[in-house]
Each structure stands twice: as structure tokens, then as C-alpha cells.
Structure 1
């Protein structure tokens, strides 16, 4: 058997490309086991295809074509028609290279598909993480709701309605005061959205003499959907008020911007 002629026939390229029949594949495989030169040539072809694909994949199909032309020793000055005086063309070689081209294109397509699949998996993982965060937030909201219901049902809770004042008569709020925990649960659903650069500030008041003590500002008013805030209050409060103050709050309440006020029922 002429090993060199067999290698140059192009059948090994077709074998690597998977373009042969099952019987032909078996024949090539048997020859590979018998002749180390054929095995080496198959390995070289596979290595060339992999290198060709790796070199051309990032640049796209145009560079694939250029790399293949270089591998075939073509250039832009070559004639488009093969002259008759060049002798008989070895079409098996060209068939082999054609099969190699198909394989290279297939590997490029597979690489693109793989990247797209990875992108879809990444998006799915991100969506899953977002869903987990939403579930966690929902669970936290449910926990807070149950806690609030428990507070409202406690017979020892002092309820203090806060009515709207002259600056905004339609305003209203409500304080649920738990003296055992020194906390108030402030429901401010009845307050309008504060203007930009302004915040609501909550005050604990003693009435004789009138002494205000700040319980803090409602920085999260716009983003809190429930509009219910838990605020620590260890004061001997006789009343509660809410004023509109500049961002950051004030040391003393701006009475002209008093939105709600409510007196604690001494019988409670």
C-alpha cells in the first residue's frame, strides 16, 4: 500500500470531518492502527482544525475564509479559473479541505451556541437570585405584618390618634404606644408626600411646661410602602406631634409646619 498516496488522497480530512460512511470509517480506523504514519496524519489534521477554529472564531466568518485561503496557499492575485495546463487536479485533496472547512464552521457555530447558552444560564441565575430577594422581602413584610397585628391586639397598647392641623387639615396619623417595650408604632399613611428637601420629624411632648423631644425623622417615608415606622420612645410622653422640617431635621419643632398632633388619653 502506498501510504503517502493514501494520505494525500484527502480521505483522512473527510474522516476527521465525519463525512465518510460507517464502513469507510472502519477501514480508516483499521489502517490507523496498522500504520502509525496514518494515525499521526489524522492527529495533525485534528490539531490544524482546532487551531484554525481558535484563530478565526473571535473575528467572524470573514477571517475564517481568509485563514482557509492562506492554508490552501491561495492569494487574491490567483486566477479564478484553474488553467488546463496545470495538470490533473487532485479533487480528493480539495474535498478533504472542503470537509475541514465544514468542520471548522461547525466548531465556530458550536462555540457561538455555547457562549449564547452560557449567557442564557447567567440570565436565569440572575433572575433566580432576584426572585430569592423578592421572596425574602415578602417574608420580611409578612413577619412585620404579623408583629404589627400582635401589637394592635395587645390590650396594654395605648392608641393615640393624631389629627391634622392648620397647615394641612386633611392630614392624619396614629401612634400605637407599647410602654413595655418603650416603642411606638407610627402609622403615617394619612400624611402627604413631603416636598423635595423636606422630611417629617416626630416629636414626644410634655405639656406643662411644653417640652418637645425629637424621636427622629422619617427618612424612608417615600420608599416605605406600608408607611408604618417603629420608633423607640422611653419618654413620659403626654402628646405626639409631626412637623415638616428641612432635610436632616431640626433641634426644635417648626410650629408653623405642624401637620398632626395628638394628646395621650390619661385614662389609658
Structure 2
């Protein structure tokens, strides 16, 4: 079942309400709504707000316009009644025009707000779809039978640290899951190196805020070596900052 927090954080209720979700996401949201009373109450309140906003856009002339027209016409003398009525209608028309202009301004502002919200929701959906496709592709790459997983355990510089490298020599792909590594200060980063005939070759930096990181594949690598380097990475490894290594 889909997570309630995910639904709220990513605005899926609003998209569900406006009919902009895919069939799969619609079914997932409906399932959570059926089983989560607090989320259903939140959705009902959101739906009520949308209905109220729609009602506010309806332009109905106010009663004060009708009342003023009756009072003005009733006060006129018979001998100048046509002129008085014309003037009264002119006054009422002016008041009505001003009122309608104000309502039009409010409606335009509400429309702009809805357009902004819709654009933001579309952006979030596009990002979710992009992330989903990227994650799916990477998961397929990891589960490939040609992939060899390697676990690098941290030394005393990264106690209890662990990073998993997935290597596919056939497609020359290297993916790394760094979530098991301790976070570093902002001025430091992890960096992976391949040892080829005693020469350390840079494979790329390894940020810890991502689920999977794509690194450069190095042919004929004999081992993988993880070091701590200044932010942005180094051209040569800082040997004394070696965190972990493993023979391939």
C-alpha cells in the first residue's frame, strides 16, 4: 500500500481530485483513502475547498443594486419621471459595472493561483515519473545475472561503514550504493579508485545523499579503493585517508 506521507508530500490528493493521476496511482490513492480515516477527512476538506472556490467564481448581482434602483425610482416626481429613471439606471449601471469588475479581478487572481498550483503539480508528477524510470532502469541493471556485487567495509576512519559496488564487466557498468557510509563534513567527499598495475585511476566521487551512484568503469582493475578527499575530488588518492578496499 502507498505511504500516506508520500501522498501528502507529493500533492497526489490534489492530482487525484483534478483527475490528473494515472490509473495505477488513482487506484493506489483510493486504496489508502479507504483504509485511512484521517487522510479521508483531509481529502473531504480539500474537496470542499475546491467546491467553495468554484462557487465563489459565480457572478450574481448583489441585492444592494436592486434596492438602490427601487429607492431611486420611487423618489422621482411624475413630471420628470423619464429623466429621473434614466439617471437612476445610469447610476445603477455604473455601480454594477464596478462590482462586476471587482469580481472579474478576483476570479482572474484565483485562476492565476490555480494555474500556478497546477504547473507545480505537473512538475512534481514529471519528476516522480523521471525518478521512477531511472530507479527502474538501475534496478534492472543491478539484478542482471552478469552483475557482480562487491561489499566494501569501512575501517577505523568509517566505523560500521559499508558501500556496495555492482560491476558488470560485459556492459562495462559500475553502480555504487553509498547509503551505508557515514556522512562527511561539507568540505569532504568519498572517492573511488581502481588499481591497475599499481596505478590508482579515478572512478569518480561518491556522494552519500543518493541511492545509487554511477561510476566510471576501468578495464583490468585489480581492486576497488575508497578514500576521503576534499570536496569535488582529487586527481590522486590520499592514501592515508583510505577507508576501504577490495580485490576484484
* TM bucket, shorter chain: 0.5 to 0.7
Q: Where do residues 38-117 of structure 1 align in structure 2 (5 Å cutoff)?
A: 96-117=86-107
The size of the alignment, in residue pairs, is: 173
Distance 1:255 1:139 in 2: 41
How far does the alpha carbon of each residue in 1:25-83 deviate from its partner, in whole angstroms, 9 at most, with x for none? Answer: xxxxxxxxxxxxxxxxxxxxxxxxxxxxxxxxxxxxxxxxxxxxxxxxxxxxxxxxxxx
Contact map agreement 1:173 1:189 (CA 8 A) in 2: yes
Using the TM superposition, give the Cα deviation of residue 195 of structure 1 relative to its aligned residue in structure 2, in angstroms: 0.9
Distance 1:100 1:221 in 2: 72
Higher relative contact order structure (alpha carbons within 8 Å, sequence separation ≥ 6): 1
**SS of 2:179 mapped into structure 1:** strand
Distance 1:116 1:243 in 2: 60
Larger Rg: 1
Contact map agreement 1:183 1:234 (CA 8 A) in 2: no
Distance 2:221 2:234 in 1: 19
Distance verdict in 2 for CA 1:113–1:172, change over 3 Å: same
- Alignment TM-score, normalising by the size of structure 1: 0.56
Counterpart among 203, 207, 213 of residue 201 in structure 2: 213
Matched residue, 1:170 = 160
Contact map agreement 2:181 2:208 (CA 8 A) in 1: no
Matched residue, 2:150 = 160
Distance verdict in 2 for CA 1:175–1:103, change over 3 Å: same
Distance 2:241 2:91 in 1: 79
**SS of 1:109 mapped into structure 2:** helix
- Alignment TM-score, normalising by the size of structure 2: 0.60
Matched residue, 1:143 = 133
Counterpart among 146, 161, 172 of residue 182 in structure 1: 172
Using the TM superposition, give the Cα deviation of residue 90 of structure 1 relative to its aligned residue in structure 2, in angstroms: 6.0
Using the TM superposition, give the Cα deviation of residue 99 of structure 1 relative to its aligned residue in structure 2, in angstroms: 4.0
- Segments of 5+ residues of structure 2 without an aligned counterpart are 1-67, 71-78
Distance verdict in 2 for CA 1:113–1:170, change over 3 Å: same
Counterpart among 109, 114, 117 of residue 119 in structure 1: 109
